[in-house]
Every structure is written in structure tokens, then in C-alpha cells.
Amino acid sequence: MPGINEVALLAGVSTATVSRALSGNGHVSDTTKSRVKAAAFELGYVVSSNASSLATGRTKNIGVVIPFLNRWFFSSVVEGAEQSLLSHGYDLTLYNLSGSGDERRSVFEHFLLRKRVDAVIAVSLELTASEVGSLLDMNKPIVGVGGPLPGVQTLSIDDVRVARLATEHLLSLGHRSIGHIGGNDDVELDFHLPTNRRVGYEAALGANGIPADPALFAEADFTLQGGYRAATRLLGNPRTRPTAVFAASDEMAIGTILAARDLGLSVPGDVSVIGIDDHELAEFFGLSTVAQYPAEQGRRAVEILMDQLHPARRTPAENFPLRFELIVRSSTAAPRRS
């Protein structure tokens, strides 16, 4: 098997330059880097991960910790992060914390602190001071996605503003009876996402002189099935049925559309529906939504982490706001006149 000396000879550079070009550590011009990679490819040279780890003290592996794996939003963040990590020559180890508290303690107190990962991306997890401190003490940089974390660079979205934007769209169409499908205490996610989205919904109503009606709120678990069940309850009584529904996620909004159709209602003729996310199925269902670009969030987290892994490029810990955008499709329209 060819070694680093053969690659250096073919590329016309030193072995140190080959090491920097293939590891991404240290400055190498783009032209030289391309020449080294071409030589390595021609010779079939593969960098030994064990040797590289011994030489640099790094594993070229990033730990990504998420609360759920079977939700579209979280899997999309991971997909975006993985694509970016691959382009930087890094592997990804995924830790799914949908189990017990003991599982979380095991991950943060053992797995992440061993020499298994160089850094950590925490997605929608409100890390404790102890969890953050133990990682930083081991010189493992952290980037958080989903909300601010003291002492950590983070990316977060303003869930109150997002929900307010969705509700204001319905109000702008002339709706005054607007239901909300959101979470309860049992599904309260880190950073209080369900609560913040309900706060935004109620703030938009209040700004238009409309009191929030508890009878127009239905609890669900941020799944399509949960949204379907909640919408069936919310839309089942023709006397109290709202003319529009704001669901706190696209999966629940899609469940609402399906429930409305099963109840013999047309969308948006009888009821308008809007969600949050811009789920991969949102366009198929004609769902109006507020897009929050989860794959882009994963990619941005990796770029920040790459800066953290290079001391000369490190920036102070701060919270970066994430973009969001109203996307209007066919599931929302002005209410029918009585």
C-alpha cells in the first residue's frame, strides 16, 4: 500500500504539506491541496485515522446530540450537518436522547468525554451548566442549535416571532376565529418551544383586539397523528369550529388538513391551515407555513464549529439568530362570508 512519502513525491511537495492538505489542519493553497488530493487518489492512498489521531490529538469525529430521531426537523438538521462535516473530512456520531435521564447522563458524563469526538453539536437541547462545563474543561467545543446557551456559541430561532407571523397571516386574510394546535406540559421541549409558539399566537390575536379563547386551543404531541386527533376535536363541532387553524408544526398542520377532509370540510374553503417548518411534504399538501430551514441550521452549526476547532479563528460565544420566512400556498384563504 502506498504511503505518505509516495504521495509527496508524486505531488512534488513535502510530507508535512501532504499531511496538512489531507487533514485540513494548517494553511495550504487551494492549488497545492488539489494536487495532493489528486496524487493521493491516483495512488490509492488513504489517511490512517489512528495515525492522524495520534499525531494531532483529534479523532476527526463530531458528536451530534438530539432529543428525537424520528422527527423530520431533527433528521433534517442532522442531514445538513453531516453534508457539511463530510466536506471538511469529518465523521459524525449521533446520540439520540429520546430515552431516559440515565441515558442522557451516560452520554454527557462518559461517551462525549472520552476521546471519541472532537466537538459537540447539541440540537434543541437546553444543556445544563454542568454538561457545558465538563465538555469545555476537556477542550471539546460546543455549538448549540435551537436556543441560547450561556458560554456557548448558539443558533436560535425566535419562536414567538415565528408563531406571531403565522397567526398574522391568517388575521391579514380576515380570520377572527383562529384555533391553535400546540403542545402541553407533557411535550414541552427544551427552550419551551410549544409555550413560546402559543405566546406568539396569543400576542398576534391580542394586538388585533381578539382575546385568546381557551376553547380554540387543542393539545397535541407535534406528530401528524397527534395533529389529526387534535384537529378532529377542534373542528368536529360546527357551532364552535374556527375558520382557521395555526398548528405549531407542519406535521400537526398536515394532520389537521387530513382531519378536515375526513370531516367533510374543504381546505381552505371551510377552514384555513398554516404550520411551521416547511416540511418536505408541505408543498405536496399545499400547506402555507413559516419555513425555518433545518438543513441550513445544521450546515451553519458545522461552520461555526470549524472556527471553534481552529484557535486562531475562534470568536466570542454569542447567539446567532436564524432566518425564517412566510411561505403562502393554497391551504390559506379569506374566510367565506356567512
pLDDT digits (tens, 9 = 90+) for 113-143: 765 788 888 888 888 788 888 787 777 888 8
Look-up of cell digits 382575546: 211
Residue 1 pLDDT: 61
β-pair partners for 320: 155
Q: 220-271, pLDDT tens digit by residue?
A: 989 999 999 999 999 999 999 999 999 999 999 999 999 999 999 999 999 9
The per-residue pLDDT for 96 is 82
Tell me the C-alpha distance between 333 and 257, whole Å. Answer: 14
**Which conformational region is residue 118 in: left (phi greater than 0), alpha (psi within -120 to 50 degrees), or beta?**
alpha
Contacts by 166-169, CB closer than 8 A, 24 or more apart: 166/200, 166/201, 166/246, 166/274, 166/275, 166/276, 166/289, 166/290, 166/326, 167/200, 167/201, 167/204, 167/205, 167/246, 168/204, 169/274, 169/288, 169/326, 169/328, 169/332
The DSSP result for 272-301, as a single string, is EEEEEE--TTTTTTT-EEEE--HHHHHHHH
**Confidence at residue 164, expressed as pLDDT on a 0 to 100 scale:** 98
Which CA distances in Å does 63 have to 89, 130, 267, 280?
14, 18, 42, 25
> Is the confidence at residue 54, as pLDDT, over 60?
no
Q: What is the pLDDT of residue 27?
A: 73
Query: 96 in helix, strand or coil?
Result: strand
CA atoms within 13 A on the CB side of 292: 27
- C-alpha atoms less than 13 angstroms from C-alpha of 155 in its C-beta half-sphere: 24
Q: Which helix (H) or strand (E) holds 239?
A: none
- Show the domains of the chain with their CATH numbers: 4-56 (1.10.260.40), 61-157+294-322 (3.40.50.2300), 159-291 (3.40.50.2300)
266: phi > 0 → left, psi -120 to 50 → alpha, else beta; which? beta
CA-nearest of 71, 70, 56, 65 to 22 is 56
For residues 238 and 199, the answer to whether their CB atoms sit within 8 Å is no
Which of 336, 169, 337 is closest to 245 using CA atoms?
Answer: 169
Distance (Å, rounded) from C-alpha 55 to C-alpha 97?
32
Write down the pLDDT at residue 323: 92
* pLDDT per position as a tens digit, 71-114: 888 899 999 999 999 888 888 988 888 766 677 777 877 777 76
| pLDDT, averaged across the chain | 86
Q: Where are the alpha helices (DSSP H) in the chain?
A: 4-11, 15-23, 30-43, 49-56, 72-87, 101-106, 129-137, 159-172, 193-207, 224-235, 250-262, 294-308
pLDDT digits (tens, 9 = 90+) for 229-241: 999 999 999 999 9
- Quickly state the pLDDT bin for 55 (edges 50, 70, 90): very low
CA angle 57, 116, 147 (to 5 degrees): 105
Answer positive or negative: Cα dihedral of 134, 139, 145, 151.
positive
pLDDT single digits (tens) 273-309? 999 999 999 999 999 999 999 999 999 999 998 888 8
pLDDT confidence of 152, banded at 50, 70, 90? confident
Q: Is the dihedral of CA 64, 67, 70, 73 positive or negative?
A: negative
- What pLDDT shows up at residue 15? 80
